[in-house]
Structure 1
Amino acid sequence: MKDLKFEQKKSLSRLEAADQLAALAEALRHGGNAELEFGPGTLSMRIPEEIRTEVEVEVGDGEIELEIELKWPTARTEAGA
């Protein structure tokens, strides 16, 4: 069972998608406590110095799907405390 799950699916213009990714990149660049605006709400989370990443590209059925997954533990480590 997940402690929290946030999912948002909607169509964006290319520029809106770029703005959303730029805000995420800025949060990653600074780390620590980050706040990201998603539609009507704000997502607040702690971003540590080290994260795991996975990039997946699927082409089929007339579409390209690009998934960028970022993972990190919820508990602080000694190095991150």
Structure 2
Amino acid sequence: MNGTDIKAGITAIYKLVVKLRDTLVDLIRKKEITSCGCGQADCPTWFFTDSAGQEMDDIRRSILVQFKSIKTDFNLSLG
């Protein structure tokens, strides 16, 4: 793999991460992702509708596939 291929792969990953963030914001706006409601500003617990979870997982999976195309021994996967 040459420098041009790596740069293209990293650019693709960057665009997918931006898409993941934008999708998160959109799903929160649509109330498909909601906080737990405990009132703590830093609470890490969020509730996802099934479709929201699937949409986010699909994008995360695409990011992992792109990493794998750059570094073939990359073995992280979503359950």
What TM-score do the two structures reach when normalised by structure 2?
0.33
Which structure has the highest helix share of the two? 2
Structure (1/2) with the larger strand percentage: 1
Determine which structure has greater relative contact order: mean sequence separation of CA pairs < 8 Å that are 6+ residues apart, divided by chain length: 2
